[in-house]
Amino acid sequence: MTDASETDKTDTPETHTPDEAERHRAKMERRKAVQDAEVAAKTIEKGLLIVHTGPGKGKTTAALGLMLRALGRGWRVGVVQFIKGGWDTGERRAVAAFGDRVVWHTLGEGFTWETQDKARDVAACRHAWEVAQRLMADASIRLVILDEANIALRYDYLDLAQVVETLRARRPDLHVVVTGRNAKAPLIEAADLVVEMGSLKHHFAAGVKAQEGIEF
Amino acid sequence: MTDASETDKTDTPETHTPDEAERHRAKMERRKAVQDAEVAAKTIEKGLLIVHTGPGKGKTTAALGLMLRALGRGWRVGVVQFIKGGWDTGERRAVAAFGDRVVWHTLGEGFTWETQDKARDVAACRHAWEVAQRLMADASIRLVILDEANIALRYDYLDLAQVVETLRARRPDLHVVVTGRNAKAPLIEAADLVVEMGSLKHHFAAGVKAQEGIEF
C-alpha cells in the first residue's frame, strides 16, 4: 500500500451531473496537492524493523507477501521459523521457484503442546536465534523474517533485551519482520512499523477446518 | 497460521527444575488434548470469502502471501487491482516466476486524486468487476484477489448488493480475498474470515518514505 492509499477516504459518493463532475475534479485536484506534499515531506530511506502482531490471521502471511515483493526487486531473503515444525507448507514449496534467493530455516519443532518438552523448545529457539543472527549479518540478504519469534520471546525462551538490542543494531539497509501475537513492549518501542492483526470474524468458529492452500 | 497457533498463549514462563519440567510436560499434554479436540471438531471444507480491511498496512500484502501459499499448492490464481494504476511493483515482477499460473489485471488508473475524473474511475472499476467475474467463473482458478475493491464499493463505483450476491454465489471451492479499508457491512456479513489491520505504529509518521521492496 502506498502512503496515499493509507490516507483520506472521507468524501461521499457523488452523482454524475457535469457540475458534480467538476466539483469532484476540483476536490481531487486539491487532494492531490495535499497528497503530493505529504509524500514529498517523507525523505528518509532506511531498513525497517516491522512487527506483525495481534490475535487475527495474516501475521505470517503478510510477511510472506513482503518476501514476494522483495524477491520481485531482486533481493535475497532469509526466513527463520521459531515455533512451527517442519511441515510441508505451500509457501515453502512456492519459494523453490526463487532458488537460493530464499534461505529458509524451519527450526522450531512445533508448538509447545506438541513437543511437551520445554528444554527442547528453549534449545530449538536459541538455535533459531543464532541462525537468525547469521542471516542478518549476511550482506547479500536485504530482508529477514523471524516468524513466530514473538512467541519465543513471550515465553522467555529468548533473552528479550539481547534480541531487541541486536535488532536495533542491524545494518542500515536491512529490513527485519518479526511475527507472532503478544509482541513485547520493548520490541514495539524499537520497531518502525507495528501492525496489529485483529479478528473481526473467523471461519474456524463456524467449524471450517484449516485448509491446504489457505492456512498452510 | 494453524488453528492451534491462534489459540492459547496464556501460560507463564517457567524455570528449569525437573519438577517444573514435569509440570510443563503434564500441562502441555493436557493442552494438546484440548487442541486436538478443537481441531477434530472442525470438519467443513469450503472456499472462503476473506476480507482484509482496517487502517493498517498489510491488507494487500497478506493477500499476496495467500497467493504465494496457493501457488505452492499448484493452484492458479487471479488478481484484479481495482484502484492502483499500472505501477511497476515488486509483486508483479515476482509472479512472473509462476508463468500463466497467475492471471494479473491492473485495471485501476490510480487513486481518484490522480485521475481527477470520476466518470473514468467508475468506468475503470466496472470494467475491473467484469474481469473479476470472468476470473471467478474460470474453473482452473482456485483463488481470486480483488485488491482495493472495498474502495470501489465505498465510493459506490460498484453496486454493493450485486457484488455481494455474486461473491455469495461463488462456486464451493473458490476462495476470494477482498482488500481495502472501510469494508461495507454487507460484505463483512457475507464473509467467512474478516481481518482488521490496525496501525499501532507507522514509519511514515517518522518521515520515512515509501520504499521499493517494502511498499511496492
* Lookup: cell for B33: 488434548
Would you say residue A11 has pLDDT above 60? no
Write the residue in B194, B201, B208 that is nearest to A188 by C-beta: B201
Q: Identify the three-state secondary structure at position B198.
A: strand
pLDDT confidence tier of residue B115, bands split at 50, 70 and 90: confident
pTM: 0.87
Q: Within a domain: residue B135?
A: yes
Radius of gyration over alpha carbons of chain B, in Å? 21
* pLDDT (mean) for A35-49: 91
Distance CA A21, CA A213 (A): 44
Residues A53, A28 share a domain: no
Q: Within a domain: residue A107?
A: yes
Would you say residue B10 has pLDDT above 60? no
Q: Per residue in A140-163, pLDDT tens? A: 999 999 999 999 999 999 999 999
b (16+ CB within 10 A) / e for B88-99: ebbbbebbebbe
Would you say residue B179 has pLDDT above 80? yes
Is the Cβ pair A118, B14 closer than 8 Å?
A: yes
Residue of A nearest to B4 (CA): A111
* pLDDT (mean) for B110-118: 78
Residue of B nearest to A158 (CA): B13
Is the Cβ pair A199, B201 closer than 8 Å?
A: no
Measured between beta carbons, which residues in chain A are less than 8 angstroms from residue B71?
Answer: 90, 94, 97
Q: Identify the three-state secondary structure at position A145.
A: strand
Q: Per residue in B156-170, pLDDT tens? A: 999 999 999 999 999
Displacement of CA B105 from its chain's centroid (Å) = 17
List Cα–Cα distances, A68 to A119, B82, B94, in angstroms: 35, 20, 6
Q: Per residue in B189-201, pLDDT tens? A: 999 999 999 999 9
pLDDT at A4 (0 to 100): 39
Residues A121, A59 share a domain: yes
pLDDT at B9 (0 to 100): 40
Q: Within a domain: residue B211?
A: no
Domain that holds residue B142: 49-199
Write the residue in A53, A64, A151 that is nearest to B69 by C-beta: A64
Residues B69, B37 share a domain: no
Is the Cβ pair A1, B113 closer than 8 Å?
A: no
Q: Within a domain: residue B22?
A: yes
Residue of B nearest to A148 (CA): B5
Q: Identify the three-state secondary structure at position B86.
A: coil
Residues B189, B123 share a domain: yes
Write the residue in A70, A111, A193 that is nearest to B213 by C-beta: A70
Write the residue in A98, A151, A196 that is nearest to B200 by C-beta: A196
For chain A, what percent of residues have pLDDT higher than 70? 91
Residues A156, A78 share a domain: yes
Residues B189, B151 share a domain: yes
pLDDT at A16 (0 to 100): 65
Is the Cβ pair A1, B61 closer than 8 Å?
A: yes
> By C-alpha distance, which of B215, B71, B197, B201 is closest to B145?
B71
Would you say residue A177 has pLDDT above 60? yes
Residues A114, A92 share a domain: yes
Q: Identify the three-state secondary structure at position B165.
A: helix
pLDDT confidence tier of residue A10, bands split at 50, 70 and 90: very low
Residues A27, A122 share a domain: no
Would you say residue A31 has pLDDT above 70? yes
- 523471524: which residue's cell? A146
Q: Within a domain: residue B209?
A: no
Is the Cβ pair B91, A65 closer than 8 Å?
A: yes
What was the ipTM of the complex prediction?
0.85
Q: Per residue in B45-54, pLDDT tens? A: 999 999 999 9
Is the Cβ pair B216, A69 closer than 8 Å?
A: yes
Contact between A207 and B42 under an 8 Å Cβ cutoff? The reply is yes
